[in-house]
């Protein structure tokens, strides 16, 4: 006996978005820390050091937002960060915008384990094309991201929801 297809339940898609990645960049900033920077935030005693992935994407689904632009930032975190009752209660934040300097309709910030940064960059440069995002709350206010998943293709159960390929811009 096969399990029922979860995508036939309308609630399956509540708070879910699928975006198609159109561009990405791996940023690296190294500089001297400002005197007011707390010691615990300085790298090797006196450096400001930050790595992040910035992406541009277009919404595939839900259809009410199809084709809208999204800017995405992925920030790595180390083993000292905890989740759950004694730590963070989400893996990112999702915001609806009325258009920023880049013309984006949405902004997304995601947390990624530092140990996954290398493989993520490798996969972004070679196979990943899509990002699925699960949210709670209203993105007009600030939605919490409860899960996210990258993939090279759209799962067969999601093809109808994702719709036809987006037209090039």
- 22 within 8 A of 128, measured Cβ to Cβ: no
**Assigned domain for 139 exists:** yes
In-domain check, residue 30: no
Cα–Cα distance list, 99 to 20, 63, 96, 107 (Å): 18, 19, 9, 10
For residue 2, tell me if it sits in a domain.
no
E strand intervals along the chain: 16-32, 47-61, 69-77, 92-96, 106-113, 130-136, 143-151
**In-domain check, residue 74:** yes
Domain that holds residue 141: 15-25+53-162
* pLDDT over 70 percentage in the chain: 92
**Residue 149: inside a domain:** yes
**132 domain-assigned:** yes
Residue range 121-133: mean pLDDT, rounded: 96
pLDDT of residue 138: 84
pTM of the predicted structure, to 2 decimals: 0.85
Domain total in the chain: 1
Instruction: Please state, in angstroms and rounded to a whole number, the distance separating the CA atoms of residues 72 and 125.
Output: 16
Give dist(CA 57, CA 114) in Å, integer: 23
């Amino acid at each position: 006996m096969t399990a029922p297809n979860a995508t036939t339940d309308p609630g399956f898609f509540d708070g879910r978005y699928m975006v198609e990645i159109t561009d990405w960049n791996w940023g690296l900033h190294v500089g001297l820390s400002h005197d007011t920077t707390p010691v615990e935030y300085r790298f090797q005693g006196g450096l400001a050091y930050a790595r992040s992935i910035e992406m541009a994407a277009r919404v595939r689904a839900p259809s009410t937002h199809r084709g809208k632009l999204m800017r995405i930032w992925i920030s790595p975190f180390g083993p000292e960060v905890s989740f759950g009752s004694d730590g963070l209660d989400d893996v990112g934040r999702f915001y609806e915008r009325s258009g920023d300097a880049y013309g984006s309709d949405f902004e997304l910030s995601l947390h990624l384990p530092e140990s996954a940064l290398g493989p993520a960059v490798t996969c972004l440069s070679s196979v990943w094309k899509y990002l699925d995002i699960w949210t709670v709350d209203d993105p007009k206010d600030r939605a919490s991201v409860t899960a996210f998943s990258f993939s090279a293709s759209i799962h067969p159960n999601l093809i109808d929801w994702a719709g036809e390929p987006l037209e090039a811009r």
